[in-house]
């Protein structure tokens, strides 16, 4: 057997953490990296997940705003709101143009970093040895960054046979579903539900738990559901799916059992959004000494080291919270290890901020109110309607609210949640205050420009 080709670092999967590692090791440290990618150069985010879905959401919000044109004196352009029909090929082309631009950027970055990009499916054939496209590679460091994929639950009778859409296919759909049925009321389900409703589809979301977005506080979910259902999305909760029949793209029927009462929902398309599974099977991981967890994520410690010497795992496949910015932070942790100065604590106690990109956005960081109550953590609460964030008045939509949890005995911020227009933009200043461990009063004492969204934080933090 010939000996493997040597690289300083070999990365399987070109997701967020992996590509930044290659770009940085190559451009800043002069290291020679190889990155192996089977389909989506740069990973899910720029190709089939975050960025294309947000591009779509923006197209949908233009359609939504167009229907409101009369309230801005533009009624003569829109005879009747229902007359606005979206040619779905156009948002599709807009998305493709964006992705093409992002790919140019990626190719340029790999070139600048002198990274060898190898297209193919990477598989371990021995400790630190990987086979791909008829080649055999090894390196000082190996990084597994293979991500996750949408779960299509084969235990639901008829679901697989109905050929449901996942987030990948729906982003390429060039027709508007007359009725889109969405299984799962989590991030993917709700973002697409509102977007497709805004494009003009009838939309039904079916969620198995008693609430959508099960992790969030009840008051937040109630307010968000009010906004989304107010636009015409139907949400069915506490629902068990008994059976799916028919075919997505033609006619599909879902039998739903809610507390023993069975109903049949008929739609034109069905989208699965019921969670994700790690891409860790058939890769020779365990044979190479890389153990998996019960959920089939790669088992890692706080420095993202696997059970095999010199092999790291990063991003979704390592069970890090499923967000691109978290995968990016995994890159920082691994880089700190590869450059000889491991980040103290690694991934322990890092912030996990999130934004659900519905309109209105749901932004969160730190402790939720129900989590504090469940854990018996005492807190003081500041809560303020978005109407008191005066910027929202200028934008004509003041729905939603924000709340902040502060220590009962001290002044540190424990958690922050906001539901409102552009709420995601409020996070960094709160995150910084939390990270520095400074008093919430430092935020309420800031001079913040009037009338920006951030200005509302002064009132919110004063209300504690
Ligand atoms: C619809 C949708 C919208 C989302 N929106 C957001 C958002 O707005 N903000 C946010 O922060 N997060 C969002 N996420 C989550 C985010 O996309 C993921 O958390 C992120 O992409 C994970 O990155 P990663 O580094 O783990 O790898 P990934 O981006 O998953 O990349 C892994 C890569 O590995 C490749 N691969 C797998 N196996 C092999 C193999 N054996 N050989 C070679 N290559 C392989 C895959 O093709 C893929 O390109 C969204 C997810 C979805 C589904
Ligand atoms: N804006 C963002 O940052 C963003 C957007 C999309 C996805 N993501 C990431 O991707 C992850 C995956 O998203 P997702 O929406 O696929 O998963 P999710 O875990 O967020 O939500 C899945 C939902 O499906 C429900 N469910 C599960 N099985 C079901 C069944 N049989 N019938 C009905 N409902 C069922 C769950 O109770 C849950 O509410 C997210 O958790 C998030 O981390 C992030």
Q: What is the pLDDT of residues 232-274, one digit of tens each?
A: 999 999 999 999 999 999 999 999 999 999 999 999 999 999 9
DSSP letter at 155 equals T
Q: What is the pLDDT of residues 196-246, one digit of tens each?
A: 999 999 999 999 999 999 999 999 999 999 999 999 999 999 999 999 999
The pLDDT value recorded for residue 80 is 67
Give residue 105's domain range: 5-47+92-149+277-339
Any domain includes 181: yes
Residues 418 and 379 both lie in one domain: yes
Q: Which helix (H) or strand (E) holds 404?
A: strand 401-407
Q: What own/partner pairs with CB < 8 Å and gap ≥ 24 does 372-381 have?
A: 372/405, 372/414, 372/415, 377/414, 378/407, 378/408, 378/409, 379/405, 379/406, 379/407, 379/408, 379/414, 380/405, 380/406, 380/407, 380/408, 380/464, 381/405, 381/406, 381/464
Q: Is residue 404 part of a domain?
A: yes
Does the structure show a pLDDT above 90 at 148? Answer: yes
Structure tokens at 350: 């890092």
Model pTM greater than 0.95? yes
Asked if 109 and 173 sit in the same domain, the reply is: no
Burial 52-81 (b: 16+ CB within 10 A, else e): bbebbbbbbeebbeebeeeeeeeeeeeeee
Compute how many other C-beta atoms are within 10 angstroms of the C-beta atom of residue 428: 12
Q: Is residue 73 part of a domain?
A: no
Do 204 and 337 contact (CB within 8 A), yes or no?
A: no
First to last CA, the chain: 69
* CB of 192 shorter than 6 A to ligand 1: no
Q: Is 190 labelled as part of a ligand binding site?
A: yes
pLDDT at 79 over 70: no
Comparing CA positions, the residue from 380, 312, 294 lying closest to residue 9 is 312
Question: Which CATH number fits the domain that encloses residue 378?
Answer: 3.30.390.30
Cα of 139 vs its chain's centroid, Å: 31
Determine if residue 316 is labeled as part of a ligand binding site: yes
Locate 390 and state its tokens: 């005066």
Domain presence at residue 79: no
- The beta strands (E) that lie in 198-250 are given as 202-206, 234-236, 239-247
Q: What percent of the chain has pLDDT over 70?
A: 98
Q: Residue 446, annotated ligand binder?
A: no
Q: How many C-beta atoms surround the C-beta of residue 51 within 10 A?
A: 18
In-domain check, residue 370 = yes
Residues in the chain, overall count: 464
Tell me: pLDDT of 84 over 90: no
Residues 233 and 194 sit within 8 Å (Cβ to Cβ): yes
In tens, the pLDDT along 337-389 reads 999 999 999 999 999 999 999 999 999 999 999 999 999 999 999 999 999 99
Q: Is the C-beta atom of 355 inside 6 A of ligand 1?
A: no
Which amino acid residue places its CA nearest to atom 17 of ligand 1?
45
Given a contact cutoff of 8 angstroms between Cβ atoms, the answer to whether 227 and 204 are in contact is: no
pLDDT given for residue 70 in this prediction: 85
Select from 257, 274, 291 the last residue of a domain: 274
Ligand-binding annotation for 246, yes or no, is: no
Mutation pick for ligand 1 pocket among 10, 48, 50 (CB with most ligand atoms within 8 Å): 50
Q: What is the CATH number of the domain that holds 26?
A: 3.50.50.60
Q: Whose CA is nearest to atom 52 of ligand 1?
A: 49
User: Would the pLDDT of 78 be above 80?
Assistant: no
What residues are in contact with ligand 2 under a 6 Å CB criterion? Answer: 153, 183-189, 191, 206-209, 212, 214, 241, 273-276, 322-323, 354-357
* Sequence-ordered alpha helix ranges (H) in 301-359: 324-338
| Peptide bond preceding 166 in cis form (omega within 30 of 0) | no
Q: What pLDDT was estimated at residue 75? A: 78
Is residue 351 situated within a structural domain?
A: no
Q: Whose CA is nearest to atom 7 of ligand 1?
A: 50
Ligand in nearest proximity to the CA of 171? 1
Model pLDDT for residues 21-68, shown as the tens digit of each residue: 999 999 999 999 999 999 999 999 999 999 999 999 999 999 999 988
pLDDT band at 83 (very low <50, low <70, confident <90, very high): confident
CA 37 to centroid of ligand 1, rounded, Å: 12
Q: What is the mean pLDDT of residues 424-444?
A: 98
Summarize the confidence of residues 286-303 as an average pLDDT. 97
Please tell me whether residues 133 and 282 are part of one structural domain.
Answer: yes
Q: Based on the structure, what is the number of domains in the chain?
A: 3
Does 75 reside within a domain? no
Q: In the chain, count H helices and then E strands.
A: 13, 21
pLDDT at 85 over 90: no
**Ligand minimally distant from the alpha carbon of residue 168:** 1
365 and 438 both lie in a single domain:
yes
Domain identity same for 135 and 281: yes
Rounded to an integer, what distance in angstroms lies between the CA atom of residue 17 and that of residue 15? 6
Write down the residue that tokens 């631009």 correspond to: 101
* ipTM passes above 0.90: yes
Last residue of a domain, one of 339, 368, 388: 339
Q: Is residue 43 part of a domain?
A: yes
pLDDT band at 2 (very low <50, low <70, confident <90, very high): confident
Mean model confidence pLDDT for the chain: 97
Strand partners, 33: 9
Query: Domain boundary at 274, 295, 320, which?
Result: 274
Q: Are residues 364 and 315 in the same domain?
A: no
Q: Are residues 114 and 232 in the same domain?
A: no
Indicate which residues carry an active-site annotation. 450
Q: Among 332, 318, 316, which residue's Cα sits nearest to residue 21?
A: 332
Alpha-carbon distance values, 198 to 44, 68, 152, 210, 225 (Å): 24, 12, 26, 25, 15
Measured between alpha carbons, how far is 123 from 198 in angstroms, rounded to an integer? 43
129 and 237 assigned to the same domain = no
């Amino acid at each position: 057997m010939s000996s493997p080709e040597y690289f300083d670092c070999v990365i399987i999967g070109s997701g967020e953490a992996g590509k930044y590692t290659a770009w940085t090791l190559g451009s800043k440290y002069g290291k020679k990296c190889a990155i192996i990618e089977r389909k989506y150069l740069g990973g899910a985010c720029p190709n089939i997940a975050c960025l294309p879905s947000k591009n779509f959401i923006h197209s949908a919000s233009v359609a939504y705003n167009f229907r409101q044109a009369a309230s801005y004196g533009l009624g003569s352009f829109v005879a009747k709101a229902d007359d606005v029909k979206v040619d779905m090929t156009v948002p599709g082309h807009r998305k493709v143009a964006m992705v093409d631009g992002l790919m140019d950027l990626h190719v340029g970055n790999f070139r600048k970093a002198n990274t060898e990009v190898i297209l193919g499916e990477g598989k371990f054939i021995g400790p630190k040895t990987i086979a791909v496209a008829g080649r055999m590679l090894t390196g000082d460091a190996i990084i597994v960054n293979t991500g996750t994929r949408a779960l299509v639950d084969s235990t639901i009778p008829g679901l697989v046979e109905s050929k449901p859409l996942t987030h990948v296919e729906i982003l390429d759909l060039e027709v508007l579903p007359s009725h889109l049925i969405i299984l799962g009321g989590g991030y993917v389900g709700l973002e697409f539900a509102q977007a497709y409703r805004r494009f003009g589809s009838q939309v039904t979301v079916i969620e198995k738990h008693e609430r959508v977005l099960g992790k969030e506080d009840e008051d937040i979910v109630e307010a968000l559901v009010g906004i989304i259902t107010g636009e015409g999305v139907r949400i069915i909760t506490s629902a068990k799916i008994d059976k799916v029949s028919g075919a997505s793209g033609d006619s599909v029927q879902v039998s739903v059992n809610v507390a023993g009462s069975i109903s049949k929902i008929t739609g034109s398309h069905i989208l699965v959004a019921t969670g994700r599974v790690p891409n860790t099977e058939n890769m020779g991981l365990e044979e190479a000494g890389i153990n998996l967890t019960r959920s089939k994520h790669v088992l890692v410690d706080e420095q993202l080291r696997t059970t095999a010497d010199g092999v790291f795992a990063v991003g979704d496949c390592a069970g890090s919270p499923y967000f691109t910015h978290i995968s990016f932070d995994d890159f920082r942790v691994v880089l700190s290890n590869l450059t000889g100065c491991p980040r103290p604590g690694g991934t322990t106690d890092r912030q996990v901020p999130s934004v659900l990109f519905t309109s209105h956005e749901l932004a969160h960081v730190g402790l939720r109110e129900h989590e504090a109550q469940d854990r018996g953590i005492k807190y003081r609460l500041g809560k303020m309607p978005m109407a008191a964030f005066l910027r929202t008045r200028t934008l004509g939509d003041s729905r939603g609210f924000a709340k902040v949890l502060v220590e009962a005995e001290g002044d540190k911020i424990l958690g922050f949640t906001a539901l409102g227009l552009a709420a995601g933009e409020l996070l960094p200043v709160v995150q910084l205050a939390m990270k520095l461990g400074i008093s919430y009063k430092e935020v309420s004492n800031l001079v913040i420009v009037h009338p920006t969204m951030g200005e509302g934080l002064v009132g919110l933090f004063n209300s504690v």
